Structure 1
Amino acid sequence: MVTRARRNETDPDLGVLAGRLLFAVQNELFTSLAKEGFDDLHPRHGAVLAYLDEGGVRATELARLSGQHKQVVGTMIDELEALGYVERKPDPADRRAKLVCPTARGLAQARAADKIMSAIQERHARRIGRDTFTMFKAALIDVTDHQRRQQPQ
């Protein structure tokens, strides 16, 4: 009988592959960010940082985009605010709501992260070929979107 460990070593399932990819990308991204002076960030912060826009985003939208619970996102926003990466501002469209906006440090981190992620993607595109990488990414987006729609409400 083949053990689960052996099966996932030789024929990993989608969850194992997705996890391996996530952890490997996070490791490279956050190690590189630390070298650029953003050593106070952790991979969990990516659920907020990946979706911030200069004009700000509501916490509920960050939760929806990241697939994280609102409470988890709220905790990360608190942490990032304490670290100086974001600030909460009134939403001009609804003064009762708040926007999570990047600070100057948050914008600098976003520029650095975009550069690092572009280099990671470029390396893979060169390695397997641009057309193959484009098809891989399109298929991954499709599978990811389809799986997210299967989530129980």
Structure 2
Amino acid sequence: MSSPLPPIADLPFLLMRAQAAVAERINDQIAAHGHPGLRPVHGVIFARIAAAGASVNEIAAHLGITKQSAATIIEALEADGYVSRRPHPTDRRARLVELTDRGRGVTELAARTAAAVAGEIERQIGRGAMATALDALHRMGEGTPPRPAW
């Protein structure tokens, strides 16, 4: 006999718990591969700047934090060799934040780990339930950038 479903009012907490479980599994792998100081917020930044870089202002807006907070995070990532800054090609007042080889390596590791975690979840819940979950989650979050849980 299966256990009763949680009440619908528990949905936000269930989503947060699932997000935390997935983020922790990815973060554990990143730490195990020599990057213990990185956190999920760094992954959100890496994903944002991976394609073409971004200014600190753009990163702050993406994360929903102040420019000062974003600058502090970027300074630490730069000191650890994950990002570099150079003059922005279109905004003389800004600097473009880009991934270094080290930052790209971590991003690739996180992507591989995320794919493995997704595969494990699909094996646990089944292909049909996974398709339903993906569709529902996509519709719930459509138009909202990913932001780390603080």
Q: TM-score range by the shorter chain?
A: 0.7 to 0.9
Indicate the residue corresponding to 2:3 in structure 1.
Answer: none
TM-score using structure 1 length: 0.76
Distance 2:10 2:120 in 1: 24
Match of 1:20, SS state, is helix
Distance 1:28 1:65 in 2: 23
Indicate the residue corresponding to 1:45 in structure 2.
Answer: 42
Change (3 A) 1:108 1:94: same
Distance 2:110 2:144 in 1: 26
Query: How big is the shift at 1:86?
Result: 0.6
Indicate the residue corresponding to 1:108 in structure 2.
Answer: 105
Change (3 A) 1:61 1:132: farther
Indicate the residue corresponding to 1:63 in structure 2.
Answer: 60
The answer to whether the 8 Å contact 2:43/2:107 transfers is no
Indicate the residue corresponding to 1:90 in structure 2.
Answer: 87
Distance 1:39 1:141 in 2: 30
Distance 2:68 2:16 in 1: 23
- Deviation string 1:84-141 (CA, Å, 9 cap, x unpaired) is 1011111212232221100111011011011001111121123223343233122112
Change (3 A) 1:47 1:147: closer
Q: Which runs of 5+ in 1 are unaligned?
A: 1-9, 149-153
- Deviation string 1:68-96 (CA, Å, 9 cap, x unpaired) is 44333222212211211011111212232
Q: Which runs of 5+ in 2 are unaligned?
A: 1-5, 146-150
Higher relative contact order (CA 8 A, sep 6+): 2
TM-score using structure 2 length: 0.78
Distance 2:48 2:34 in 1: 21
The answer to whether the 8 Å contact 1:90/1:97 transfers is yes
Indicate the residue corresponding to 1:3 in structure 2.
Answer: none
Find 2:115's aligned residue among 111, 118, 142.
118
Change (3 A) 1:75 1:14: farther
Query: How big is the shift at 1:29?
Result: 0.9
Q: How many residues align?
A: 140
Aligned identity (percent) is 34
Change (3 A) 1:71 1:113: same
Change (3 A) 1:83 1:145: same
Distance 2:143 2:10 in 1: 16
